[in-house]
């Protein structure tokens, strides 16, 4: 059986970015990131979740943070020079990103949104994020991921 290649993996391949692909057991529903880290035997500090918000301006913003952490909306808004940001509704994830809940990756969204990573990404050798499909994750250099997504880093957690 051929190894599954997600769109995220194809984008990384096209950009000649080295990564490791992981698969974890799952049902049809999304599971939380801490569970995913456990299923993969990975340190939760290296496994990041991707959250999408809408700013006061109407623009969308992506925040990528450790799965154990909670996004601080005030810090997040400040990091993207917005008056405020709020989480988008789950029903809107597919329309805005092209991904389903639990499979949202900072790589390969429908449009390029301003992306901010928690500053702890600077302190780890490898970062693990969704590969764009539930049950699949990718591990790569935080520098490569931030550069590919034209991201920035900031203190965005509570």
In a domain, 128, yes or no: yes
Residues comprising the chain, all counted: 158
| Torsion (CA) 7, 48, 88, 30 in degrees, nearest 10 | 70
Q: pLDDT category, 27, cuts 50, 70, 90?
A: low
Q: Is residue 27 situated within a structural domain?
A: yes
Q: How many CB atoms lie within 10 A of CB 18?
A: 10
pTM: 0.93
Indicate which CATH number applies to the domain containing 22: 3.90.960.10
Mean pLDDT of 14-36: 82
2 occurs within a structural domain: no
Q: What integer pLDDT is reported at residue 40 of this predicted model? A: 82
Average pLDDT over residues 126-131: 95
Q: Does residue 1 belong to any structural domain of this protein?
A: no
Look-up of token digits 């943070």: 65
Of the candidates 104, 87, 114, the one whose C-alpha atom is nearest the C-alpha of residue 36 is 104
3-state secondary structure of 38: helix
Residue 2: pLDDT band by 50, 70, 90 thresholds? very low
Task: Flag whether 141 is in a domain.
Answer: yes
Report the DSSP pairing between strands 85-87 and 114-118. unpaired
Whether residue 51 is contained in a domain is answered as yes
Number of structural domains, the chain?
Answer: 1
Domain that holds residue 35: 7-154
| Tokens found for residue 123 | 């302190």
């Amino acid at each position: 059986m051929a190894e599954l290649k997600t769109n995220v993996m194809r984008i990384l391949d096209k950009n000649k970015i080295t990564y490791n692909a992981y698969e974890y057991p799952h049902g049809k529903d999304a599971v939380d990131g801490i569970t995913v880290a456990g299923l993969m035997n990975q340190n939760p500090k290296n496994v990041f979740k991707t959250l999408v918000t809408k700013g006061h301006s109407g623009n969308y913003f992506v925040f990528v943070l450790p799965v154990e952490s909670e996004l601080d909306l005030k810090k997040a808004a400040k990091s993207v020079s917005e008056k405020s940001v709020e989480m988008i509704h789950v029903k809107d994830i597919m329309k805005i990103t092209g991904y389903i809940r639990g499979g949202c990756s900072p790589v390969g969204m429908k449009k390029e949104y301003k992306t901010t990573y928690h500053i702890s990404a600077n302190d780890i050798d490898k970062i693990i994020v969704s590969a764009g499909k539930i049950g699949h994750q990718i591990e790569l250099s935080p520098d490569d991921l931030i550069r590919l997504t034209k991201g920035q880093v900031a203190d965005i957690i509570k």
